[in-house]
Copies of this chain bind each other. A is one copy, B any other.
Amino acid sequence: MSQDLVSNRTTDANSASVGFADVKAAAERIRSFVHRTPVLTCAAISERVGCNVFFKCENFQKSGAFKFRGAVNSVAQLSESELASGVVTHSSGNHAGALALAARMFGAKAHIVMPSNSSEIKKAAVREYGGLITECEPTLDSRMSEAARIQGETGAVLIPPFDHPHVIAGQGTVALELLEQVPELDMIVAPIGGGGLMSGTCLAARALKPEIRIVGAEPAGADDAFQSKNAGKFIPQLAPDTIADGLRTSLGQLTWPFIRDEVDEILLADDAATVSAMKFFWERAKVIIEPSCAVPLAAIFHRFSEARCSDSPEARPQNVGIIISGGNVDLQALPWLNL
A interface residue numbers (CB < 8 A to B): 38, 40, 43, 57, 59-60, 62, 64, 279, 282-283, 285-289, 327, 331-332, 334, 336-337
Contact = CB atoms under 8 A, between A and B. Distances in A.
A297 to B, nearest CB: 15
A151 B122 CA distance: 55
22 contacts: A38-B38, A38-B40, A40-B60, A43-B62, A57-B286, A60-B285, A60-B286, A64-B286, A282-B288, A282-B331, A283-B331, A286-B287, A286-B288, A286-B289, A287-B287, A287-B288, A288-B288, A331-B334, A331-B336, A332-B336, A332-B337, A334-B334
Contacts of A288: 282, 286-288
B327 A286 contact: yes
A62 B286 CA distance: 11
A39 to B, nearest CB: 10
A59 B336 contact: no
A282 B46 CA distance: 24
Contacts of A285: 60
Closest 4 CB pairs of A and B: A286-B327, A286-B288, A59-B286, A60-B286
Contacts of A336: 331-332
